[in-house]
Amino acid sequence: MTVPLARPGTDEYEAYYSTYIDKVPEGDVIDFLTSQITTTLELLASVPPALEQHRYAPDKWSVREVVGHVIDAERVFSHRAFSFARADQSPLPGMDQIDYASASNADMRPLPELAGELAAVRNSTLSMFRGLPEAAFGRSGVASGYSFSVRSFVFIIAGHEIHHREGLSAHYLNALHEEPIV
């Protein structure tokens, strides 16, 4: 792709996803996807092992589970983008993030292992997006009962990572500066 992607129009995704798309800064979103993973991996590297299974509330995911969720979601969003880019018009199912997280076993995996998987998934995502012809980004399909363009998934992936990095910083890593976790 030679030209930076335009931000998707609101008719290219379900309104809920504006929460993520609106977080993506102006500029080349593919370049942003490339650089943002470094920021996230640096944040994850700063998490002490004692905090990896920390939950800021009883019903919330641990740090490990948040990372597992980001991995799962990027895989699902990338698959949707890939399917639509290949002009597959088969409706794709939704993703129940609670069920995925429960079945992921992420909380039993060391954070450095999860961070490595996140980096590998991002590299795969970037390879796919970089290999798509420009016309593919305008293709669309149905997932979770809503219409999405391929372009929207590039922004959703970027914004979803921002959303969860902000959450980790605000709800989990500020615990580093509070009372010790017992």
Would residue 35 count as lying in a domain?
yes
95 contacts: CB under 8 Å, gap ≥ 6? 72, 73, 76, 144
pTM exceeds 0.85 for this model: yes
Confidence at 154, pLDDT banded by 50, 70, 90 = very high
Would residue 7 count as lying in a domain?
no
Locate tokens 């019903």: which residue? 59
Q: What is the pLDDT of residues 82-94, one digit of tens each?
A: 999 999 999 999 9
Residue 35 has pLDDT above 70, yes or no: yes
Would residue 130 count as lying in a domain?
yes
32 contacts: CB under 8 Å, gap ≥ 6? 24, 25, 158
- Please give the residue range of the domain that contains residue 111: 14-176
Would residue 33 count as lying in a domain?
yes
DSSP class per residue in 77-132:
HHHHHHHHHTT--SPBP---HHHHHHHH-GGGS-HHHHHHHHHHHHHHHHHHHHHS
Instruction: Count how many domains the chain has.
Output: 1
Q: Which of 4, 15, 1, 31 is nearest to 158 (CA)?
A: 31
Would residue 163 count as lying in a domain?
yes
Would residue 182 count as lying in a domain?
no
Locate tokens 């580093």: which residue? 176
Q: What is the CATH number of the domain that holds 130?
A: 1.20.120.450
Q: What is the mean pLDDT of the chain?
A: 93
Would residue 2 count as lying in a domain?
no
Distance between CA atoms of residues 92 and 88, nearest Å: 10
Q: What is the pLDDT of residues 48-85, one digit of tens each?
A: 999 999 998 899 999 999 999 999 999 999 999 999 99
Would residue 140 count as lying in a domain?
yes
